[in-house]
Amino acid sequence: PFSGMERILIGLDADQCVAVTTTEGPVLVVAGPGSGKTRVLTHRVAYLIGSGRARPWQIVAVTFTNKAAREIRERLGGLLGTESAQLVQAGTFHSLCVRILRRDGYRIGLEPAFTIYDEEDQLALVKQALRDLGLDPQRFSPRMLLGRLSRAKNDQHSPSDLQSMAQSYWDEVAARVYERYAQYLQRAQAVDFDDLLLRTVELFTEYPDVLAHYQDRWRYLQVDEYQDTNRLQYQLVRQLASGHRNLCVVGDPDQSIYSWRQADIRNILEFQRDFPDATVIRLGRNYRSTPQIVAAADAVIRVNRQRIERPLWTENPPGPPIRLLACWDEQQEAEMVVSEIDRLVRTGNARYRDIAVLYRINAQSRSVEEALVRRQIPYQVIGGVRFYERKEIKDALALLRVLVNPRDWLSLRRVLSETAFGRGIGEKTLLQLEQWGQRQQCSPADVLLLLVEEREEAPALAAATVRRLRELGGELVRLRAAMVEHPASQLFDLALERSGLAARYRDASDPTERERWENLVQLRSVLERYDTVPAAEGLPLFLEEAALVAAIDEAEMSGDQVTLLTLHAAKGLEFPVVFLIGVEEGLLPHARALESEAELEEERRLFYVGITRAKERLYLSYCSSRNRFGLRERCLPSHFLDDLPPDVVEAGSRASERVPRVAPPAGGHAGPVESSAPVVPRLRAGQRVFHPAFGDGFVVAVREQAGDQEVTVQFKRHGTKTLLASLAKLVVE
Ligand code: ATP
Ligand code: MG
């Protein structure tokens, strides 16, 4: 029997309470992992509403993922009731910008129906630009160019800025590609992810009255994971907050792991410069993890030099020690992880949903997946090919995009090349259509519509082609008309039928094609959520959602399954049991990051983020060899492991005793380890060996003894030891 306000403040400690109740003016919360930053943010929003200081729609909560936003809304729902929770503007920077641009983008030449392009679309545009310029995509990597464009946008540089700053031919090319690229986007009434931010900042800069509207509406701003915001995001925040200055940002500089996406650690320092009167709150108590895990994390991050020292402690009861798993190769690593998962679940120590397997790069998930499948353990992989990136889904989305935004010629082109709508329309016709459209200042889809209405002279094409184009235009016109009358899912059915996509996949006998059909059916079920309004209103909302979902948003947290995800995707999450695999030199830290101290520090932060996702049990595994790029490579344990305090790690733990006693067969697979018969290998000086507890080493000396060998081994991590070969269970590599 608590009052509403008590319920909001009850689960908070004194420092957290200050962060929640300091509602007026700028507030900066800098605090370590698991200290309740996200919790503070949620309770703050609840407090603002509960105390009557703000109405729900006056509050913005910016999160790093849509999933985090959804969770905040859910927790708010619990504290305040769902109705209020729905009215709070909670979402990512991108969704916030979409919202602004849909309403006011027309001021800067953006129609409300604009399309949002994903990375695949962006790459297609860059390639198109290169083709136009007569440049070879083999020589000028589209991906690298895209990275350059993204940086330019983040620095608010226009194509001509880039041109005038160019210092090499490559810069020159980047500037010219950028110019074309921007024209294409404008012509298609499309924006990429960077544009969402950039154009919003532009809008606010050029139209102070628009900015004033939002400043007036959104009275209280909160930003989570502030350490990973980029310059544009910070600028946006500053613009929105510049009137009332009720801005609360929470973050942890030690968890900044997105510098490759232009996240800028300077934002925290600048915040204090821009808001010198900001209340700075530090939270030091970790509520998430066991003391062992907190100690390990603290010892690891301490090694970084570019950081501000701060305390992190916990009063949680101790848990099991951190376990190191030394493995032969990734197959054995996967076996060990999965058999441990199996053991934990069988012994009632965890449910599948409590368990996460984290890794540095997506490719590492494969061996674990295979092992999970063998044991029939349910799992989900986050990342990989996103649902919305699948071919059939993109085809269907292209169809819908063209209906909503006929200027979107990139999508039209996809529709024509991938569906029956393109029958009888070749690449050449398409090109002519585009050129003709350009002269008329309209898109190819507009051209088709004009052709139907016979308002324009047809371009100089064969009569049959023109007829075919008119037919196609007719189809589009009919579908667009249907948009006004039918809900989105019905329109979807219609579009799939008319375009031949339905027939192609539904009636296929090939199982992979059938699977594509099932995906389309799944897409339809998402669309149904927008069925309460006609498609003309529902579709744009749906397309926006489809464009903005990130890999992590697709995570299913309700079922009972193991979750596999990258360290980057794991930010902000927590699991009772965490396996962090591939803790090896070259992988974590990644080989790419060995060039500079700054990059190495970011890798260490990544390791830190991984460790701090665990609540109770943490396993760190590494292999002595790994298949990379088709080659079997030798690996060494990551030197990050050297920083773990020995007293929180269980050496020679149960799992590592299960290291194979014989070298794996040439195939590389260690097989079921327990069953292999112990074989004592003959040892020679200079040989590389592996010991279940001491790990990798090499033989320094051998002394023959009656029927046995006394070997001296220099271990990489445990110094020199002399052992009896028959007992030492050494494995020769
Ligand atoms: P990260 O830096 O990893 O994002 P965070 O600082 O955002 O972490 P939260 O996720 O908010 O931390 O909190 C970590 C865990 O501790 C959550 O399970 C949360 O519910 C719990 N927690 C936070 N504060 C308290 C508290 N005062 N009492 C009990 N549990 C708490
Ligand atoms: Mg958090």
Which pLDDT tens digit goes with each residue over 691-709?
777 777 777 777 777 667 7
Residues known to be catalytic: 37-38, 224-225, 255, 613
In the reported structure, the alpha carbon of residue 694 is separated from the centroid of ligand 2 by a whole-number distance in angstroms of: 37
> For 322-350, b where at least 16 C-beta lie within 10 A, e where not — what string?
bbbbbbbbbbbbbbbbbbbbbebbeeeeb
Query: pLDDT category, 292, cuts 50, 70, 90?
Result: very high
287 lines ligand 1 (CB under 6 A): yes
Higher pLDDT, 326 or 270: 326
Q: Which whole-number Å values give the CA distances from 568 to 172, 233, 384, 525, in the listed order?
A: 33, 19, 13, 30
251 within ligand 1 shell (Cβ under 6 A): no
What's the first-to-final CA gap in the chain, in angstroms? 66
CA contacts within 13 A on the Cβ side of 339 = 15
pLDDT score of 221: 97
- For 719, the 3-state DSSP assignment is strand
**721 by DSSP, 3-state: which?**
strand
Per-residue pLDDT, 664:
42
| Strand 695-705 with 279-283, pairing | unpaired
- The alpha carbon of 638 and the centre of ligand 1 are apart by a number of angstroms equal to 29
Whether the pLDDT of residue 12 is over 70: the answer is yes
Which residue, by CA, sits nearest to atom 4 of ligand 1? 572
Alpha-helical runs (H) found in 133-168: 142-154, 159-165
At 453-479, the pLDDT tens digits run: 766 666 677 778 888 888 888 888 899
Above 90 in pLDDT, residue 389?
no
Say whether pLDDT at 484 is over 80.
yes
What secondary structure letter does DSSP report for 515? Answer: H
Instruction: Kindly give the distance from the C-alpha atom of residue 733 to the centroid of ligand 2, in angstroms, as a whole number.
Output: 43
Q: pLDDT, tens digit, for every residue of 576-601? A: 999 999 999 999 999 888 778 888 99
Helices (H), 303-405: 330-346, 365-374, 391-404
> Among all ligands shown, which has an atom nearest to the Cα of 286?
1
The pLDDT value recorded for residue 680 is 58
pLDDT given for residue 666 in this prediction = 41
pLDDT confidence of residue 700: 74
Model confidence band, residue 657 (pLDDT cutoffs 50, 70, 90): very low
* Dihedrals phi, psi of 76, to nearest 5 degrees: -60, -40
33 marked as part of a ligand binding site: yes
Question: Of ligand 1's atoms, which has the minimum distance to the CA of residue 572?
Answer: 4
Q: Is 137 among the annotated ligand-binding positions?
A: no
In short, whether 39's Cβ falls inside 6 Å of ligand 1 is yes
More confident residue, 414 or 436: 414
CB 333 within 8 A of CB 579: no
User: Residue 495 pLDDT > 70, yes or no?
Assistant: yes
The residue nearest atom 26 of ligand 1, judged by CA position, is 12
Q: What percentage of the chain has pLDDT greater than the value 70?
A: 91
pLDDT at site 681: 66
Residue-wise pLDDT for 206-252, tens only, equals 999 999 999 999 999 999 999 989 889 999 999 999 989 999 999 99
pLDDT of 678 over the 90 cut = no
Q: DSSP letter string over 554-616?
A: G---SSS-EEEEETGGGTT--EEEEEE---BTBBTTBGGGGS-HHHHHHHHHHHHHHHTTEEE
Q: Is 473 in the pocket of ligand 1 (CB under 6 A)?
A: no
Whose C-alpha lies nearest to ligand 1, atom 13? 36
pLDDT (mean) for 57-83: 88
Are 357 and 383 in contact by the 8 Å Cβ rule? The answer is no
Whole-angstrom Cα distance, residue 182 to residue 456?
28
Cβ-based neighbour number of residue 596 at 10 Å? 9
Q: Is 75 in the pocket of ligand 1 (CB under 6 A)?
A: no
The residue type at 183 = Q
Does residue 33 line the site of ligand 1, with CB under 6 A? yes
Q: Is 283 in contact with 32 (CB distance < 8 Å)?
A: yes
CB 357, CB 368: distance < 8 Å: yes
31 contacts 282 by C-beta, under 8 angstroms: yes
Atom of ligand 1 nearest to the CA of 285: 24
Query: Which residue, judged by its Cα, is nearest atom 15 of ligand 1?
Result: 288
- For a substitution probing ligand 1, which of 30, 39, 290, 557 has the most ligand atoms within 8 Å of its CB? 39
Query: Is residue 538 lining ligand 1, measured as CB closer than 6 Å?
Result: no
Token pair 């099991």 in the structure block, residue? 320
d(CA 594, CA 598): 9
Q: 533 pLDDT exceeds 80?
A: yes
Residue 86 above 80 pLDDT? yes
Q: What is the 3-state secondary structure (H, E, C) of 164-190?
A: HHCCCHHHHHHHHHHHHHHHHHHHHCE
Is any atom of ligand 1 closer than 6 Å to the C-beta of 288?
Answer: yes
Asked whether the CA dihedral 184, 126, 182, 242 is positive or negative, the reply is positive
Q: CA 399, CA 531: separation in Å to the nearest integer?
A: 18
Token reading at 155: 């620095």
Q: What is the pLDDT of residue 426?
A: 81
Is the alpha carbon torsion for 178, 180, 181, 182 positive or negative?
A: positive
Of 169 and 701, the one with more pLDDT: 169
Q: What torsion, rounded to 10 degrees, do the Cα atoms 662, 663, 667, 670 define? A: 50
The CA distance from 303 to 607, in Å, is 12
Q: Cβ distance 632 to 330 under 8 Å?
A: no
Residue 32 known to bind ligand: yes
Is-contact 48 12, C-beta < 8 A? no
What does the alpha-carbon distance between residue 582 and residue 595 come to, in Å, rounded to a whole number? Answer: 20
Burial grade of 541 (CB within 10 A; 0-12, 13-18, 19 or more): middle
Instruction: Write down the pLDDT at residue 574.
Output: 95
pLDDT of residue 720: 73
Q: Is the pLDDT of residue 639 over 70?
A: yes
- 46 vs 552, higher pLDDT: 46
Q: What is the pLDDT of residue 525?
A: 86
Residue whose C-alpha is closest to residue 361's, from 567, 63, 637: 567
Ligand nearest to the CA of 37: 1
**CA 31 to ligand 1: nearest atom:** 6
471 contact partners, CB below 8 Å, separation of at least 6: none
Atom of ligand 1 nearest to the CA of 609: 3
Q: What is the pLDDT of residues 396-432, one digit of tens each?
A: 999 999 999 988 888 988 998 899 888 888 888 887 8
Taking the centre of ligand 1 as the mean of its atom positions, its distance from the CA of residue 289, in whole angstroms, is 10
Whole-number Å distance, alpha carbon 443 to ligand 2 midpoint, is 44
Is 669 or 492 the better-scoring residue by pLDDT?
Answer: 492
Could you tell me the maximum CA-CA distance found in the chain, to the nearest angstrom?
A: 102
Q: 35 a known binding residue?
A: yes
Mean pLDDT of 675-684: 55
Element at 351 (helix H, strand E): none
Q: Is residue 570 a known part of a binding site?
A: no
Residue 316 has pLDDT above 90, yes or no: yes
Q: Look at residue 672 in the predicted model and tell me its pLDDT.
A: 37
What is the Å distance from ligand 1's center to 574 Cα?
9
Confidence (pLDDT) at 669: 42
Cβ–ligand 1 distance for 19 under 6 Å, the answer no
- Cα distance between residue 132 and residue 149, in whole Å: 17
Residue 518 CA: distances (Å) to CA of 374, 496, 502, 521, 586? 25, 13, 11, 5, 40
CA-41 nearest atom, ligand 1: 11
Q: How far is the CA of 258 from the centre of ligand 2 (A)?
A: 15
295 is in an annotated binding site: no
Q: How far is CA 300 from the centre of its chain?
A: 24
Please provide the average confidence, as pLDDT, over all residues in the chain. 86
Residues 246 and 243: their CA atoms lie apart, in Å, by 9
- The CB-side HSE value for 546 (13 A sphere, CA atoms) comes to 29
pLDDT tens digits, residue range 249-282?
999 999 988 876 666 667 777 888 889 999 999 9
C-alpha closest to that of 294 among 652, 615, 674: 615
DSSP states of 265-304: THHHHHHHHH-TTPEEEEE-EESSS-HHHHHHHHHHHHT-
Per residue in 116-168, pLDDT tens?
998 889 999 999 999 989 998 888 899 999 999 999 998 899 999 999 998 89
| Cβ proximity of 264 and 231 under 8 Å | yes
